[in-house]
Chains A and B, each alone.
Chain A
Amino acid sequence: EAGVAQSPRYKIIEKRQSVAFWCNPISGHATLYWYQQILGQGPKLLIQFQNNGVVDDSQLPKDRFSAERLKGVDSTLKIQPAKLEDSAVYLCASSAVGESSYNSPLHFGNGTRLTVT
C-alpha cells in the first residue's frame, strides 16, 4: 500500500510570506492529522479531520494557520503570514478510523521542512 504523501519536501520563505503544504493520505483512511515538529521537540497536533470535518483544531493558531480537506481525501495546510517561529517540520498522518488510535495507529508522511528567514 502506498504511504502518506506530502509535498513539498522543503520550503524556504521569508517572514510575512505565505506557504502551503499538501498531503495525500493512505487510500481509505478517514482520519487525517497535521502535526508540527519543531527542532528538538516531539510532534504537536495542529488539526485533526474526520473525513472532511474538523474534529480537533484547538492547538491551531487560527490567526495565521488554516487547513482544509474539501473532499475528505487530500488536505492542505496554509500559513499566512509566516513568522520565524513557524520554522519546523510539518507532518501529515492518517489512520483508518479516528475513534481508537490503538486499533488504527497513525501512518506518517515524511514531512515538509519549512524554514522561515
Chain B
Amino acid sequence: AQSVTQPDIHITVSEGASLELRCNYSYGATPYLFWYVQSPGQGLQLLLKYFSGDTLVQGIKGFEAEFKRSQSSFNLRKPSVHWSDAAEYFCAVGYSTLTFGKGTMLLVSP
C-alpha cells in the first residue's frame, strides 16, 4: 500500500533563511508527486508537481522540489523564506486519487 512520510511535524525558520521540508514515499512505481500548502482556515493549494523529466521542478511562490528516485524522496525547498510562507505543507502521491502525508507546519520567526 502506498504511504507518505513527512518526518517533521513542525519546523521554525527565520525570515530570509533557506527552507527544506522532507517527504519520503512508498509506492509500487514512481507515482505522481505533489506538494500542497494550506493556510489556516483555507483549502489546499497546489505548489508544484512531478512525474518525469528534470528531477528539479519549479513551483509557485518561489518553491522548488527535487525528486530522488534512489531515496524515494521529494523534498521541498525555498532559498529565502518570507513571513507569509507560514502555513502547513503537505506532500501527496498517487494517480487518480492522492495519498497525503500528515503535513509539516512551518513557523517563520522574525
Interface size range on A against B: 20 to 34
Q: Is the interface of B mostly helix, strand, loop or mixed?
A: strand
- Our pick among A40, A41, A99, A108 for the contact of B96 (Cβ within 8 Å) is A99
User: B32: which A residues are within 8 A, CB to CB?
Assistant: 101-102
A102 touches B51 (CB 8 A): yes
> Within residues 32 to 53 of chain A, which ones have a CB less than 8 A from any CB in chain B?
33, 40-45, 48
Asked if A110 lies at the interface with its beta carbon under 8 angstroms from chain B, I say: yes
User: A40: which B residues are within 8 A, CB to CB?
Assistant: 102-103
**Interface code B73-110, partner A: CB below 8 Å = 1, 0 otherwise?**
00000000000000000101011111011110000000
- Distance to closest chain B CB from A89 (angstroms): 9
User: B92: which A residues are within 8 A, CB to CB?
Assistant: 42
In the complex, what residue of chain B is closest to A56 when comparing beta carbons?
B97
User: B103: which A residues are within 8 A, CB to CB?
Assistant: 40-42
Bound-complex Cα distance A91 to B98 (A): 13
User: B34: which A residues are within 8 A, CB to CB?
Assistant: 101, 105
B43 touches A100 (CB 8 A): no
- Distance to closest chain B CB from A52 (angstroms): 17
B43 touches A98 (CB 8 A): no
User: A42: which B residues are within 8 A, CB to CB?
Assistant: 4, 90, 92, 100-103
